[in-house]
A and B are shown apart, each in its own frame.
Chain A
Amino acid sequence: GQQVMQIPQYQHVQEGEDFTTYCNSSTTLSNIQWYKQRPGGHPVFLIQLVKSGEVKKQKRLTFQFGEAKKNSSLHITATQTTDVGTYFCAAYTGTASKLTFGTGTRLQVTL
């Protein structure tokens, strides 16, 4: 079945450093979504990308969708402690429109 892999699984950075997580699919995606889950919390929608090569920005966060629509990335510039959490990519798959989540990247930020 559809698999969505993310790397790295875990990253520890110092505040102010940049961070990037990558999402890769074995098949072409119609769109991709990104979610953030704080420790002990629930996933919260961040953004959706639809077009090939699309780039969207939200303050210090930059999201990209690959030209072949098989991969995506999330880049955070100058991380802050509030960025701590796990970032998931997700894509709708299957005939019943099931949202498949990536394996997630856990970000730890220290002062």
Chain B
Amino acid sequence: NAGVMQNPRHLVRRRGQEARLRCSPMKGHSHVYWYRQLPEEGLKFMVYLQKENIIDESGMPKERFSAEFPKEGPSILRIQQVVRGDSAAYFCASSPGTDAYEQYFGPGTRLTVT
């Protein structure tokens, strides 16, 4: 049973380009969460999605960032016109439900903006 998969593992983008990060949740999980982690810092919640719905995007910047979790295919976190401050590790997690459920994390995508 494959765990949470994220790709790419490393992504380098120049300022102004777009970054697309993909996340495939564990089989049977319909809840997906995205987090951002700056070096030597904690995990900051960005967005929580269920299939075809954004449930909570309170942690996501209103501009340049968007997320989706289509009926078919992986969840995608999209960052338009990247800036150096977007350089971070982006983790995706999935769970079979909410509240009392543990979250299973993917290996993360390390985004570097040059």
Is the pairing of A and B real?
yes
Nearest A-chain residue to B110, judged by Cβ:
A40
What range describes how many residues of B lie at the interface?
Answer: 20 to 34
B-chain residues with CB within 8 Å of residue A101 when the two chains form the complex: 35, 42-45
- Cα(A20)–Cα(B106), bound, Å: 27
A-chain residues with CB within 8 Å of residue B48 when the two chains form the complex: 96-98
Partner of A100, one of B45, B102, B106, B108: B45
A-chain residues with CB within 8 Å of residue B99 when the two chains form the complex: 30-31, 92, 97
Number of A-B contacts (CB under 8 A): 60
- Cα(A30)–Cα(B101), bound, Å: 12
- Cα(A35)–Cα(B35), bound, Å: 14
- Cα(A42)–Cα(B58), bound, Å: 23
Within 8 Å of chain A (Cβ to Cβ): is B69?
Answer: no
Is A31 a contact of B100 with CB atoms below 8 Å? yes
Interface residues of A, count at CB 8 A:
23
Question: Shortest distance in angstroms between A46's beta carbon and chain B's nearest beta carbon?
Answer: 9
In chain B, positions 60-114 with a C-beta closer than 8 Å to chain A are 91, 93, 98-100, 102-108
Within 8 Å of chain A (Cβ to Cβ): is B56?
Answer: yes
Question: Shortest distance in angstroms between B104's beta carbon and chain A's nearest beta carbon?
Answer: 7
Is B98 a contact of A97 with CB atoms below 8 Å? yes
A-chain residues with CB within 8 Å of residue B56 when the two chains form the complex: 94, 96-98
Is B102 a contact of A43 with CB atoms below 8 Å? no
* Contacts A92-B98, A98-B56 given; does A42 touch B91 at CB 8 Å: yes
8 cross-chain CB contacts under 8 A: A42-B106, A43-B43, A96-B55, A97-B48, A97-B55, A98-B56, A98-B58, A104-B43
